[in-house]
Structure 1
Amino acid sequence: MNIGAAGTASGLDINSMVNKIVDAERAPKEARINERRDNVDVSISAYGKLKSSLNDMKFMMADFRRNHTLSARSVSSDNSDILTASASHEAIPGKYSVKVEQLAQPHKIVSGTFDEEEKMGAGKLAISLGATQFDVEIPEDESEILDVVRLINRHPSNTGVLASVIKDDVGARLVLSADKSGEANNIKVRVDAPVASTLQKFGFNPNNNINSMSEMQKAEDAKVVIDGLAVVTSDTNTIEDAIKGVDLNLVALTDSAKAEGEATKNKDVLVDVGYDRNAVGGAIEQFVNAYNQFYTTSRELGKFDPETQEKGPLVGDSIIRTVDNQLRAVFSTPIEGAPESVTTLSELGITTTMEGRLEIDYDMLDKQLEKNFADVGEFFSSRDGFARKVEDLIHAHTGITGSIKGRQDSLNDQITRLNSEQTKLDRRMESVQKRTHDQFTAMDSAMGQMKSQLNSMMSMMPQ
């Protein structure tokens, strides 16, 4: 910071001299603060990397536990043009024959023709969809067909009836469509208007033989027959849990299937439910990779090379050693209450190498998945199973009250103190700069006075 101009009496550059003096005093103190801040920043980043590598495992264990990842089922349909299927972990493996006899569809009705520019007059339409009803009041000055459509579609109590207008060579027609499929979602319209009103064209009751509007599409439930015996219906084209843990998504009727251009009658769809061994094996492999990534990260952060003296930012930190030892203990200790066929990782073919990483004996893992699939899922995902133990162990270090969070909080406190030291240093240097500048200014003034006196004396001496 410059204060004032360069000296004029002495000819000295006061600002430059003051800045050099202040910088010489500031530099070593500021360098120490910056060095300490850099070291703290490196440590904060290191703990962040360690925490992230551990949380990858923790979140994976939570997924194993909550989403039954290790109890996955596979499901296939031999004719996806007729239906597709999805299965939860509760699905019972087996083959099921499914015939789609009827698809769910929404109700749709259409009126007779009329002049679209005609004013229909005042009246009321009581419109029902299933068990719900809303009343549409039609005023005299808003009684053209587009007004009626707008009043229906924008009615605040409309429960799912869509009004529209179609035109043909004869005239305009009002169409009412339900947004819900199923037999229980029929549309009804009761008209309250003068007998001669065009609004009378919009009355409809599916229970009546004679109606002003006609049915374009009947409201129907979906219907399937499973294994030739069980008849199941649904108001949508998704049949849920008729086969335990399986949802059937219906696309077309069984009799609509085509084979080389010919209609195929009564060709049921085969739905095959099984254990998804590939998915479960892949999930276990991801867990092993996650631990090995943590192992690599922790070794890099805590390394020390006696030859080069190179060291990681967390060298000597007890957290790394503690977490690793605790994880190894869980890996090798039998899980209490686990199935007899799988009580430890080693029984799945997962062991620790001499270096400290995990490795998989895939032959052994495949055999377990083939013979004891359900037991593998139980080992990982039960209430007090392997996944829960690893998750809880890691959370004790990465959670908001965990050991890593405690170290990070301590380091952040150090950053706050260093920032405070920097602020104090800046204020002190401002004071030093002002005091030094004042001293140089006073010296410059004194030199100016001396120079003036000398010049005065010289002028009085004889030439």
Structure 2
Amino acid sequence: MNIGAAATASGLDINKMVSSIVEAEKVPKEARINQQRDNIDVSISAYGKLKSSLDDMKNTMSDLRRNHTMSTRTASSDNSDVLTAKASHEAIPGKYNVKVEQLAQSHKIVSGTFDEDDKMGAGQLAISLGASQFNVDIAEDESKIIDVVRLINRHPSNTGVMASVIKDDVGARLVLSADKSGEQNNIKVRVDAPITSTLQKFGFNHNNDINSMREMQAAGDARVVIDGLAVVTSDTNIIEDAIKGVDLNLVALSDSTDGKENKDVLVDVAYDRNAVGGAVEQFVNTYNQFFDVSRELGKFNLETQEKGPLVGDSIIRTVDNQLRTAFSSPVEGAPETIKTLSELGVTSTMAGRLEIDYDILDKQLEQNFADVGEFFGSRDGFARRIEDLIHAHTGITGSIKGRQNSLNEQVTSLNSDQSKLDRRMESVQKRTHDQFTAMDKAMGQMKGQLNSMMSMMPQ
């Protein structure tokens, strides 16, 4: 801060002298604060990297446990032009013959022709779709066919009836289509208008023999036969759980277009060994990533004296020891075939990383697939064990969070020290400047007195 101008009586540059004195006292103290803050920032960043690598492993284990990753199934169809299949973890492996006899379809009706510019008159259309109904009021001045379409489509209580207009050489026609398939989702239209009104041409009830509108497409359920015995119907073209844990997406009929019957579609439900093997690899990879990060953060090179930001940190040692113990300890309640990671083919190298013996892993997946899922994904299984262990360090009350909180408090304290130093230096600068100014003033007075005495002396 520049206080006042340079002195003129003494000839000294007061501002420069004051600045030098203040800097001499401030710089070393500020440097120590900045160095401490930089060191803390490095440590905070290091703990962030450590926490992130642990959370990656925790999230992997959570996925194995919560998303049934270790018990996934595959479902394939030998004719995807007829149907496709999707299996959940509850599906029972097996082969199933499926014949698609009928596809679900939505109801569609069409009126006779009209002049699109003619008004049909006032009235009301009570339109139903299945068990729901909404009433469309039509005013005299809003009764052209396009007006009726807009009133139907924009009605706030419309539950899924879509109105449109098609035009041909004869005139315009009103088409009503259901947005839901299935036999229970028929469209009905009841007209409340004078008997001579053109609106009467919109009446329709599929239970009546005579209707003003005609049916373009009947509402229908999908129907399949499974293994030549079980007949299953659905109001959509997705058959859910007819085969336990399997959804069938119907695309076409099993009969070919030339009238010849195709063979039934073979649906093959199997254990997804590739997905489960990949999940084991993912776990091993996330641990090895943590291992590399922890070694980098805690390293110390005797020759170069290079060290990581968390060298000697107890948290790294504690987490590493706890994970190694968890990897080698049997899981209580696990199947007899797989109680430890090593029985799954996952072991530690001399360096400390994990590696997979694929011969052992493939054998377990082939012979004990369900046990692999139980080992990892049960309530008290291996995945939950690792989740809980890591959470004790990365959770909001965990050891890493506690260390980060402590470092943040130190940063706050250093910021406070910096503010105090700044205020003190301002005070020192002002006091020193005042002292130099007073000295300069005194010297000016002395100089003036000297000049006065010199002027009185004889020449």
Separation in structure 2 between the aligned mates of residue 149 and residue 454 of structure 1, nearest angstrom:
111
Match of 1:448 among 444, 453, 457: 444
Separation in structure 2 between the aligned mates of residue 399 and residue 215 of structure 1, nearest angstrom:
63
Number of the residue aligned with 1:132: 132
1:266-314 deviation per Cα after TM superposition (whole angstroms, max 9, x unaligned): 3221111111111111110111111111111111111222332222211
1:96-151 deviation per Cα after TM superposition (whole angstroms, max 9, x unaligned): 11111111121111111112222222211111111011111122232222322222
Q: Secondary structure of the equivalent of 1:219?
A: coil
> How far apart are residue 376 of structure 1 and its match?
0.7
Number of the residue aligned with 1:36: 36
Separation in structure 2 between the aligned mates of residue 146 and residue 345 of structure 1, nearest angstrom:
70
The one-letter amino acid of 2:220's match is E
Q: Secondary structure of the equivalent of 1:133?
A: strand
Separation in structure 1 between the aligned mates of residue 321 and residue 202 of structure 2, nearest angstrom:
78
> How far apart are residue 204 of structure 1 and its match?
1.0
Decide which moves more: 158-167 or 307-316: 307-316
Separation in structure 1 between the aligned mates of residue 208 and residue 167 of structure 2, nearest angstrom:
26
Separation in structure 2 between the aligned mates of residue 201 and residue 396 of structure 1, nearest angstrom:
73
- Relative to structure 1, the CA distance from residue 462 to residue 369 in structure 2 (aligned partners, 3 Å threshold; closer, same or farther) is same
Number of the residue aligned with 1:334: 330
| Count of residue correspondences | 459
Whether 2:286 is the aligned partner of 1:283: answer no
Whether 2:370 is the aligned partner of 1:374: answer yes
- Relative to structure 1, the CA distance from residue 97 to residue 442 in structure 2 (aligned partners, 3 Å threshold; closer, same or farther) is same
Length-normalised TM-score, structure 2 = 0.96
- Relative to structure 1, the CA distance from residue 242 to residue 440 in structure 2 (aligned partners, 3 Å threshold; closer, same or farther) is same
Q: Secondary structure of the equivalent of 2:112?
A: coil
Number of the residue aligned with 1:154: 154
Of all paired residues, the percent bearing the same amino acid is 83
1:10-409 correspondence to structure 2 within 5 Å? 10-256=10-256, 265-409=261-405
Q: Which runs of 5+ in 1 are unaligned?
A: none
- Relative to structure 1, the CA distance from residue 89 to residue 460 in structure 2 (aligned partners, 3 Å threshold; closer, same or farther) is same
Separation in structure 2 between the aligned mates of residue 117 and residue 448 of structure 1, nearest angstrom:
107
1:58-87 deviation per Cα after TM superposition (whole angstroms, max 9, x unaligned): 111111111111111122111111111111
> How far apart are residue 161 of structure 1 and its match?
1.2
The one-letter amino acid of 1:34's match is N
1:350-408 deviation per Cα after TM superposition (whole angstroms, max 9, x unaligned): 11111111111111111111111111111111111111111111111111111111111
Q: Is the 8 A contact 2:256 2:262 kept in 1?
A: no
- Relative to structure 1, the CA distance from residue 263 to residue 432 in structure 2 (aligned partners, 3 Å threshold; closer, same or farther) is farther
- Relative to structure 1, the CA distance from residue 118 to residue 449 in structure 2 (aligned partners, 3 Å threshold; closer, same or farther) is farther
> How far apart are residue 451 of structure 1 and its match?
3.7
The one-letter amino acid of 1:375's match is D
- Relative to structure 1, the CA distance from residue 127 to residue 435 in structure 2 (aligned partners, 3 Å threshold; closer, same or farther) is same
Length-normalised TM-score, structure 1 = 0.95
Separation in structure 2 between the aligned mates of residue 379 and residue 451 of structure 1, nearest angstrom:
97
Number of the residue aligned with 1:421: 417
- Relative to structure 1, the CA distance from residue 13 to residue 217 in structure 2 (aligned partners, 3 Å threshold; closer, same or farther) is farther
Separation in structure 2 between the aligned mates of residue 256 and residue 458 of structure 1, nearest angstrom:
131
Separation in structure 2 between the aligned mates of residue 300 and residue 264 of structure 1, nearest angstrom:
69
- Relative to structure 1, the CA distance from residue 461 to residue 103 in structure 2 (aligned partners, 3 Å threshold; closer, same or farther) is farther
Separation in structure 2 between the aligned mates of residue 13 and residue 231 of structure 1, nearest angstrom:
105
